[in-house]
Amino acid sequence: MPFPCHYTNSETQKTYLVTIGQSGHLTEIKAVAGPHDWGSVDWEIVGNQFLLHTIQSHPAKGTGLGSLLMHLAASEALQANCQRMQILSAAQSERSFYQMMGCTIDTTALASFNQQNFTQQEWAGLSSSCPVVADPSQVLVSSSASVYKRWS
């Protein structure tokens, strides 16, 4: 995708200028419509893994900016031939968003633990601390519904 570009939200009628650049050693996509309406996603690529460090969205929740940023990030991951995305700082409160975007919880780190040695609450805490991962093409497909519905 050529940057810079503009995306207009069909619900809010706000137009975002979307740019890509470097922020230290990370690549970053920024989407800005004004001082209070902006979002960003930054990442690095290690081997064939796309390590998403942060995603931020600062308009009202539900406007689709997060979906747009995930869609753009997944496109970048696919262009870099990455086979896996890992969300490094997935907030517990946003796990449902990542699942809507096609991500899953990678519980392989728990394979050596016996679940019976933990209370339900302890096991849920361990599980929720596991990384959020995805196949970039699945994120692209899952995010498309929101992107095509709200953005032009």
Q: Is residue 71 part of a domain?
A: yes
Q: Using DSSP, state whether 113 is helix, strand or coil.
A: coil
Q: Is residue 60 part of a domain?
A: yes
How many structural domains does the chain have?
A: 1
pLDDT reported for residue 70: 96
pLDDT reported for residue 1: 64
Q: What angle do CA 54, 63, 11 make, to 5 degrees?
A: 150
> Whole domain around residue 67: which residue ranges?
5-106+132-144
pLDDT reported for residue 143: 95
Q: Is residue 18 part of a domain?
A: yes
Q: Is residue 42 part of a domain?
A: yes
Cα(66)–Cα(62) distance, integer angstroms: 8
pLDDT at 149 over 70: yes
CATH code, domain with 20: 3.40.630.30
pLDDT reported for residue 147: 94
> 92-106, 109-123, 132-146 — which one is most confidently predicted on average?
132-146
Q: Is residue 10 part of a domain?
A: yes
Percent of the chain scoring above 70 in pLDDT = 99
Q: Where are the alpha helices (DSSP H) in the chain?
A: 65-79, 95-100, 120-128, 136-150
Q: Is residue 114 part of a domain?
A: no
Q: Using DSSP, state whether 111 is helix, strand or coil.
A: coil
Mean pLDDT of 13-32: 95
pLDDT reported for residue 130: 84
pLDDT at 13 over 90: yes
Phi/psi class of residue 110: alpha, beta or left (left: φ > 0; alpha: ψ in -120 to 50)? alpha
pLDDT at 31 over 70: yes
